[in-house]
Amino acid sequence: MNYDNKFENVTVLGAAGKMGSGILLLTSMEMYDISKKPENKDKHYVLYALDISQKALSGLMMYIQDQLVKQAERKINALRSIYKDRADLIDNTEIIAQYVKDVMNIIRPVTTLESAYESHIVFEAASENPELKVKMFSQINLNSKVEPWFFTNTSSIPIGHLNKEANLSGRILGVHFYNPPAVQKLVEVIKCDESKPELSEFVSILIKNMRKIEVPSYDKAGFIGNGHFMRDAIYGMTTMESLRKDMSFAEAVYCVNKVSQDFMIRPMGIFQLIDYVGIDVCQFIMKVMRPYVTDETIHSPLLDKMMEINVKGGQNHDGSQKDGFLKYEKGKIAGIYDIDKKEYVKVEDISTKCDQTLGSLPEGHLPWKAVVGNKDKNNVLSKYFDAMKSQKTLGAELALNYMKKSKQIGEKLVTDKVAYTAEDVNTVLLTGFFHAYGPINDFIN
């Protein structure tokens, strides 16, 4: 069956979730493009948006509609040419409205798994729960007559495990989008030993059509992205604990967050990133990874403690940040959690002291925003990190150690056969985490 035909009947599981809604959006747009090819004009395309709650599905349909308008506005040039023979569609306004209508017409919001029984392709973006995924895959697989292909968005569960438990005979591939899928360029693709090659071929075309970047990863729990992030986070939290002998919890969090953002020129500090992903999600991913990693402990007692006192981070439905290690006001960091007092300390109450303790930013420092798109960034970074090496401050020392650790983690992902190459590790961090430079670099040698 060729690429286009596979798309005649598709299901997205967990479509109303954050990842599912993005995957649904991208898939619906790809299906629309396929349906508009002259050779497909007599075919019918259906995309089931499957989730458990009707309420969530209502919200999903509103979200998809809004997103389609935005996407259509962006590609208005192409759309005018697609609708050039429609004499009734003249203004951009009319063309955009028609596009949204046409794409929406492909999508069917549903709540019953039976809908997926005729799908050739099943994207899965349900919660990161191995039992749930296995249960859904098995049921669909058992009842389907079309030998469906399963593409799971898991960010941590080994694909081989899902293949075996759900008895899929290799008709499964990890296709891990980054959050939010509509925006993020990176897609990690993970095949297990049994994965059929035609699935990888298919997904490569899909990713290219979605104008995204494909990075392959071995089938090791956590893959590249979380493989690096979880270890990087554990290191950040350990460093924070080690600072606590000289300062309060909030001060230590502030310092490590500042080192991992400003000193290291990253888009977010490590504690902000944990909050962004969600303390609960991080804890869960670590739990999923743990049984598969034998030579180190993927676990953070601190995250457990935060969960116990119900400080979870993550995001609200409107995309705004919930409070976690840090407190956010209008998207900006306003406070730091003090685990002893169980309350947030105002940033301005501790920043002066902490900034003094860390010392000034090394010469040549530029904010991440000014570096990330800078054509001369290698040169800028090289000079900056050289200046850091010659600076004897706590901030510089912590940053250099953090850089070394981050590099070590990256290299270990290659030697442990999680990543195929060092370049893949760097691509994931550059495109999936928006770092200005890859962790495996020569800046700190």
- Residues in contact with another protein by CB under 8 A are 73, 76-77, 79-80, 84, 87, 90-93, 96
- Nearer to another protein by Cβ, of 91 and 308: the residue is 91
78, two tokens? 């192409």
- Nearer to another protein by Cβ, of 93 and 294: the residue is 93
Other C-beta atoms lying within 10 Å of the C-beta of residue 342: 9
- Nearer to another protein by Cβ, of 97 and 132: the residue is 97
Query: Residue 262 Cβ, how far from another protein at the closest point, in Å?
Result: 23
Residue 433: closest CA among 230, 174, 171, 252 = 230
SS3 358: helix
- Nearer to another protein by Cβ, of 96 and 172: the residue is 96
The angle that helices 301-308 and 223-243 make with each other, rounded to 10 degrees, is 80
Residues 6+ apart with CB under 8 A from 204: 189, 214
Query: Residue 373 Cβ, how far from another protein at the closest point, in Å?
Result: 14
Q: Are strands 343-346 and 332-338 parallel, antiparallel or unpaired?
A: antiparallel
- Nearer to another protein by Cβ, of 98 and 200: the residue is 98
For residue 415, list its beta bridge partners.
Answer: none
State yes or no: cis peptide before 180, omega within 30 of 0: yes
Query: Residue 80 Cβ, how far from another protein at the closest point, in Å?
Result: 5
Question: If 0-12 CB within 10 Å is exposed, 13-18 middle and 19+ buried, where does residue 291 land?
Answer: exposed
- Nearer to another protein by Cβ, of 79 and 302: the residue is 79
Query: Residue 150 Cβ, how far from another protein at the closest point, in Å?
Result: 35
Q: What type of residue sits at position 90? A: I
Q: Are strands 46-50 and 9-13 parallel, antiparallel or unpaired?
A: parallel
Residue 181: closest CA among 10, 20, 67 = 20
- Nearer to another protein by Cβ, of 85 and 442: the residue is 85
Query: Residue 94 Cβ, how far from another protein at the closest point, in Å?
Result: 8
Query: Residue 363 Cβ, how far from another protein at the closest point, in Å?
Result: 21
- Measured in residues, the chain has a length of 445
DSSP for residue 290: G
Query: Residue 376 Cβ, how far from another protein at the closest point, in Å?
Result: 13
Look at phi and psi of residue 155 and say left if phi exceeds 0, alpha if psi is from -120 to 50, else beta. alpha
Buried/exposed code over 49-79 (b: 16+ C-beta within 10 A; e: otherwise): bbbeeeebbeebbebbeebbeebbeeeeeeb
Query: Residue 70 Cβ, how far from another protein at the closest point, in Å?
Result: 10
Residue 284 near residue 128, CB atoms below 8 Å = yes
- Nearer to another protein by Cβ, of 44 and 375: the residue is 375
- Nearer to another protein by Cβ, of 52 and 90: the residue is 90
302, two tokens? 């601190």
Query: Residue 91 Cβ, how far from another protein at the closest point, in Å?
Result: 4
- Nearer to another protein by Cβ, of 76 and 205: the residue is 76
